[in-house]
Amino acid sequence: MSMLELRQVSKVYGLGATEVHALHDVSLAVAPGAMVAVMGPSGSGKSTLLTIAGSLEEPTSGQVLVAGHELTRMSRNDKARLRRQSIGYVFQDFNLLPGLTAAENVALPLELDGVSARKAREAGLRALTDLGLADRAPSYPDQLSGGERQRVAIARAVVGDRHLLLADEPSGALDSENGEAVMRMIHTACKRGVAAVVVTHDAQLASWADRVVFIRDGHIVDQTVPAPGPESLLGQDR
């Protein structure tokens, strides 16, 4: 079963003469453990695709399924719970709370969901440790570099049982070294079973994904074909 499935999703903003078709009949399936990058120019609909996949916005038509549950058929409360418990978001500007340590920031979504403070802290520390950030747990956001803040934001996005990670230009404000560290980390989370959709215009970052989907004017126009192993490149020109 796919962790995320979009079936013929369309999104129209405005009405009549001012109508803008942000997405046309977009279908996309992401299996557990898979990392999919969505590449396209600004205004192509890639961010709309992500907000609809994360149930932050309703599609005009079509269906969205997260872990087999159809979002469009869920009550507002059920949808909010699914969003809290299954989906993690990463944005360009980190969105960490400045008054909380890295560990507290990561634990926060679980605490908000009613998990006891002690269990939430344990899960938060586990998420940081899994992603190689255990030593940063007691630091406050202003004591972390931009790259570290984004990595903490990724740990927060996958804390607990969150198995769908949605990231919009997660390394947009970072230099190439930190951008790579962020993508490496998302890649690591995927190896542990998380399904990830990363929206980016940067080909180097997109190339960390198992599959790259190209979007233009609201249509998915193309996608990469899974390549054979790296050996095929090393063998060239011999």
Partner 1 sequence: MSIRHALLALLSEGPKYGLRLREEFEAGTGEVWPLNIGQVYTTLQRLERDGLIESDDDDEQDSPQKRFRITAQGDRELAAWLRTPPDMSSPPRDELVIKVLVALLVPGTDVREVIQAHRRYLVELMQQWTRIKDADAGRDLALGLAVDAELFRLDAVVRWLDAADGRIRRAALEPPIAARDDLPRLKRKAGLAR
Q: Which residues contact partner 1 by CB under 8 A?
A: 39, 41, 184, 187, 201-204, 206-209, 212, 214, 216, 221-225, 227, 229-230, 232-234, 237-238
Chain-centroid distance of CA 13 in Å reads 23
CB 1 within 8 A of CB 159: no
- Take residue 61 and report the two structure tokens written for it: 């038509």
Q: Residue 177 Cβ, how far from partner 1 at the closest point, in Å?
A: 10
Residue tagged 């969205």 (tokens): 64
Which lies closer to partner 1 via its Cβ, residue 52 or residue 154?
154
Choose between 20 and 80: whose C-beta lies nearer to partner 1: 20
Minimum gap (Å) between residue 52 Cβ and partner 1? 23
Smallest CA-to-CA distance from 30 within 179, 167, 159, 153 is with: 167
Give the residue with the Cβ less far from partner 1, 24 or 187: 187
The vertex-60 CA angle with 59 and 64, nearest 5°, equals 30
Minimal distance in Å, beta carbon 191 to partner 1? 10
- For the CB of residue 40, give the shortest distance to partner 1 in the complex, in Å: 9
Tokens matching residue 133: 């950030």
- Residue 87 CB, shortest distance to partner 1, in Å, is 25
Identify which of residues 59 and 179 has a Cβ nearer to partner 1 in the complex. 179
Q: Which is nearer to partner 1, 24 or 216 (CB)?
A: 216
Q: How far is CA 39 from the centre of its chain?
A: 14
Closest CA to 157 of 54, 80, 66, 57: 54
